[in-house]
Chain A
Amino acid sequence: MKTTFKEENNDFVMYFEGRLDTAAAPAVESEMTPLNDCTGHDIILDCSQLEYISSSGLRIFLAILKNAKPKGSHVFIRGLNDDLRQVFAMTGFTNLFEFK
């Protein structure tokens, strides 16, 4: 599981690659620290290369959203494949996030 952080057009973009399962979740969570101070920036979570997401992975996404909202930042999800879209739909996350 690999993550890459970039700043593009004043947006904070986090690229995910591989399988975000329960085993990978703690490491990924610590790699999210650049997103904590997001005042004045929107966040894009790019999932184009993400193959799988577990409930632990979804909790990380939710934590990012909960942190960004009070700061006035939007959190967008980008590039979900069909399987991931199904997981997002089933867990009710489709209603929580904005999609690009």
Chain B
Amino acid sequence: MLGELVIFGFSIEAWITLLTVVSIFVVMARSRIPAEVAFLGALTVLLVTGVVSEEEGMAGFGSEPVVIHAAFFVIIAGLMQTGVLYWLTKNVLGDPKNYNNALLRLMVPTSILAALLNSVNVVALFIDAVKIWARKLNISPSKLLLPLSYAATLGGMCTLLGNSSNLVVAGLYLNKTGQSMNLFEPLLPGLVLTVVGVLMVMMLQHYIPPRRSAEQSFETTSDYTVELLVPTDNPAVGETVEEAGLYSVKGGSLVEIVRFDREIIMPVPKDEWVLGGDRLIYAGQINEILELKRTHGLAAADHHVWSINDIDTKRKMRTAYVDFGSSLIGRSMSQCHFEQKNNVALVAVARQGYRVDGQPREIKLEAGDTLLLECPPKGDRLLEQETRHTVTFFDSHFVPQLGKKTVTSAIILVLMFLISSLHLMPLMASTMMAAGLMMLLGCCRITGVTKYIEWELLLILGATVVFSVAITKTGIADNIANQVLQLCGRNPYVVMAVMCLLASLVSEFVSDVGSSAVFFPIMFQQAEMLGCNPMPFVMSLMLSVTISFASPIGSNTHMLIYGPGSFKFTDFARLGIVMHIVLLTLALILVNIIYPLY
């Protein structure tokens, strides 16, 4: 009975859906309730009131976007553990001089990559790389993550593969007309929109809020004290530290030399000689200092090293925390047999908040200290078991792990891109295959891989898909669209503009894919009724649903950076509303210039 009741053109179920969706925005904007709790709460309302069935309510969690995202997290774990992300930040993003330069160096390559490889792929891939970069540049990650999201979505507009909604629209067009769209059909308007969008982000950069990332306060780059040994046959022996290039080091400084006979040189003058067996103590950014191992033949070892060739180059760097209640607390590494017993060598120590002075091996350890240990190439699990309750190993972005597996995981990634780009396999299958290969080929540790999956995000995505179903099912989108057509009369430009505005607004609240699926049949029919070429209607819809930048729900890429950037829900609206209005207007003009209506 209730289901048949209609109030102001909407059924009771439609009103429940509308109120629930609006409530999410109010709750998330006004309270500190976590997003996933708000979304699950809303989903519960829709389930309990019978707006969606149990099957529909649960289907979202097994939907394509959820599965693809889950697989991506595993792929990202593999890329991080094998050093691909480290390589990317070092070589693709470069070394910008200031924030403006950083924006340009970030947005241009990521928009190009997104056009070819899908915006979600690129953002998921670059999030961690950009976070490391932000730490290097000493800017808040949010100041780079939001431009990354914009660049990827904008770049994604240029090809059918760039954004998921483009593929949905192209598929619906093929169903209706029997004509398949060219991969680069949206290139021309997409390119202009991308250039204008990138320039707008640069001009309106003060709208991007600086948010302190949770991880930022946990592990800082400037706090490590690193110890490196000069092997006997090192060519630097007999030279001064300055001549040997060991004094002025990028990202750090030489604070102390400990001689073979325990004599300490501190501070270190530029003309101090280097002797074999010296332990050089540096303070600074760990990744830059560790480069000295490769470039200057220094070693990480707890014993004397005669030749760098004696060092097992396959040994790898791992980071670990000193556990509470650990037997290491209150003792220095030189006072216990931890290194010998576990075949590890302490390279560096960091303590939250301040740098610890002195030789790392002589520092009295405290609970929570971060240790950088050189570990055997194999037997991670055994090492973790044997050191349980003493230290806890974790993966750090700062430790370079370049090796054969870097190449392996990069190949897996390229394969995934190729297979999904060439449609040899659906995107979901190719991402799952890549995630599986990452684990099978040892690019990421199988144990603990689930800790890389951001379950909160998956819950939100799953719930979002259900809202899309509810909005379509209860006729909200259909009803609004039809009423607009009655109001607009028969001017095709007005109809197109109003429909695109509505589609982009619905996209803001639901998802670009859902919005395009709802609006496509209506707009196509409108074009035919008005006797117009449907192409400008279709293309304007394709572009306008991706212009929804004002909320994290509207943009898949915004959703991906939401957690990592520690954004607030309303942060996206500041720049997003301006971008939405300008780019939507421009998209409509461009489409109508490129595709004639008659």
Check A90/B276 contact, CB under 8 A, given A95-B237, A96-B238: yes
A interface with B by C-beta (< 8 Å): 22, 54-56, 58-59, 62-63, 65, 87, 89-93, 95-96
In the complex, what distance in Å separates the CA atom of A67 from the CA atom of B41? 80
In the complex, what distance in Å separates the CA atom of A54 from the CA atom of B262? 10
Q: Residue of A at shortest CB range from B258?
A: A55
Chain B contact residues, majority secondary structure: loop
Q: Is the CB of B276 within 8 A of A56?
A: no
Q: Is B332 an interface residue (CB 8 A)?
A: no
B298 shortest CB reach to chain A, Å: 13
Select the residue from A55, A87, A90 with max chain B CB neighbours within 10 A. Answer: A55
In the complex, what distance in Å separates the CA atom of A92 from the CA atom of B234? 8
Q: Residue of A at shortest CB range from B232?
A: A92
Q: Is the CB of A55 within 8 A of B232?
A: no
A48 shortest CB reach to chain B, Å: 22
Q: Is the CB of B273 within 8 A of A59?
A: yes
B576 shortest CB reach to chain A, Å: 62
A46 shortest CB reach to chain B, Å: 21
B238 shortest CB reach to chain A, Å: 5
Which of B263, B273, B304 contacts A90 (CB under 8 A)? Answer: B304
A40 shortest CB reach to chain B, Å: 24
Q: Residue of B at shortest CB range from A96?
A: B238
In the complex, what distance in Å separates the CA atom of A55 from the CA atom of B263? 7
Q: Is the CB of B237 within 8 A of A92?
A: yes
Residues on B with C-beta less than 8 A from A90 are 232, 260, 276-277, 304, 306
In the complex, what distance in Å separates the CA atom of A87 from the CA atom of B306? 12
Could you count the A-B residue pairs with CB atoms below 8 Å apart for me: how many are there? 50
Q: Residue of B at shortest CB range from A25?
A: B263
In the complex, what distance in Å separates the CA atom of A55 from the CA atom of B273? 10
Query: Could you pull out 23 A-B pairs where Cβ atoms are within 8 angstroms?
Result: A54-B259, A54-B261, A55-B260, A55-B263, A55-B275, A59-B273, A59-B275, A62-B238, A62-B275, A63-B273, A65-B238, A89-B232, A90-B232, A90-B277, A90-B304, A91-B232, A91-B237, A91-B275, A91-B277, A92-B232, A93-B238, A95-B237, A96-B238
Task: Give 6 closest A-B pairs by Cβ, nearest first.
Answer: A92-B276, A55-B259, A92-B237, A91-B276, A91-B275, A92-B232
Residues on A with C-beta less than 8 A from B260 are 55, 87, 90-91
B249 shortest CB reach to chain A, Å: 21
Select the residue from B233, B260, B304 with max chain A CB neighbours within 10 A. Answer: B260
Residues on A with C-beta less than 8 A from B261 are 22, 54-55
Residues on B with C-beta less than 8 A from A58 are 275
Which of A54, A55, A87, A95 contacts B233 (CB under 8 A)? Answer: A95
Q: Is the CB of A92 within 8 A of B233?
A: yes
Q: Residue of B at shortest CB range from A54?
A: B261
Residues on B with C-beta less than 8 A from A63 are 273
> For chain B residues 303-329, which have a beta carbon within 8 Å of chain A?
304, 306
Which of B237, B259, B263, B304 contacts A96 (CB under 8 A)? Answer: B237
In the complex, what distance in Å separates the CA atom of A87 from the CA atom of B273? 16
Q: Is the CB of B263 within 8 A of A92?
A: no
In the complex, what distance in Å separates the CA atom of A58 from the CA atom of B276? 11
Residues on A with C-beta less than 8 A from B275 are 55, 58-59, 62, 91-93
Q: A90-B277, A93-B276 known; 12 other A-B pairs, CB under 8 Å?
A: A55-B259, A56-B263, A59-B275, A62-B273, A62-B275, A92-B232, A92-B233, A93-B237, A95-B233, A95-B237, A95-B238, A96-B238
